[in-house]
Amino acid sequence: MADGIWYEDDIARVVVTEEQIRVKTEELAKQVAADYATVERVLLVGVLKGAVMFMADFARALGRCGRPVELEFMAVSSYGQRATSSGVVRILKDLDRDIAGRRVIVVEDIVDSGLTLSWLLRYLASRSAATVDVVALLRKPDAIQVQVPVKYVGFDIPNEFVVGYGLDFAEGYRELPYVGVLKPGVYARA
Ligand code: IMP
């Protein structure tokens, strides 16, 4: 442990490696760049805090594909006990500018129940975005039950709790460069 990175002892299994994320992000950016070839500036909307790593890498990948972007962030929280379980979402940080008539891409870390996303899509439509697409790095099986159109998906992963690359457990582990599953002992400690 002394020579290692602190979190390595806490990880049971890596689900998506750093290299897989890098390659997939380039692939997704190429698809989006092709689909948005005629759009002057793509407006990326990231949901804090989980999407922050993916947003940063995806925006730079789009830049390498020759697509200019603008970045907007929102922060939301749910009234429910589990994040978004009630489907009622409170805005903690709203968009900084008008998105009327803009072609918007929501950048999501993970789609689980899909409730946050379905609320967000309704909200962006109510703010008169011209079009709204979604790019999500990860998708869990339950998301398929909800009718949320996620046009660009990185990885379909099993239905288990994951951390890393923006995703947290009790606000920790966001800085991991990969996505992994925690050892059961970590939860016992919490
Ligand atoms: P949804 O509304 O159920 O689709 O989930 C939305 C949010 O819950 C995601 O944007 C994440 O912030 C969080 N979330 C869902 N699954 C996980 C996970 O496995 N690890 C960490 N956070 C998660």
Q: What is the pLDDT of residue 88?
A: 74
Predicted confidence band at 144 (pLDDT cuts at 50, 70, 90)?
Answer: low
Give the residue whose CA is nearest to atom 17 of ligand 1.
Answer: 161
Give the residue whose CA is nearest to atom 8 of ligand 1.
Answer: 83
Does the CB atom of residue 65 touch ligand 1 within 6 A?
Answer: no
Predicted confidence band at 4 (pLDDT cuts at 50, 70, 90)?
Answer: confident
Question: What is the distance in A from the centroid of ligand 1 to the CA of 51?
Answer: 10
Burial of 24: CB neighbours in 10 Å, binned 0-12, 13-18, 19+: middle
Write out pLDDT tens, residues 87-141.
Answer: 678 999 999 999 999 999 999 999 988 888 989 999 999 999 999 999 999 999 8
Select which of 3, 9, 10, 112 is catalytic: 112
Does the CB atom of residue 136 touch ligand 1 within 6 A?
Answer: no
Q: What are the CB-based long-range contacts (under 8 Å, 24+) for 30-36? A: 30/65, 31/152, 32/62, 32/65, 32/67, 32/105, 32/133, 32/135, 32/152, 33/62, 33/65, 33/66, 33/67, 35/133, 36/67, 36/103, 36/105
Give the residue whose CA is nearest to atom 20 of ligand 1.
Answer: 162
The phi, psi pair for 163, rounded to 5°, reads -130, 165
**Pair of tokens at residue 117:** 């996303």
Write out pLDDT tens, residues 23-63.
Answer: 999 999 999 999 999 999 999 999 999 999 999 999 999 99
Question: What is the distance in A from the centroid of ligand 1 to the CA of 5?
Answer: 25
Give the residue whose CA is nearest to atom 16 of ligand 1.
Answer: 112
Q: For strands 89-93 and 103-111, give the pairing.
A: unpaired
112 noted as active-site residue: yes
Question: What is the distance in A from the centroid of ligand 1 to the CA of 184?
Answer: 19
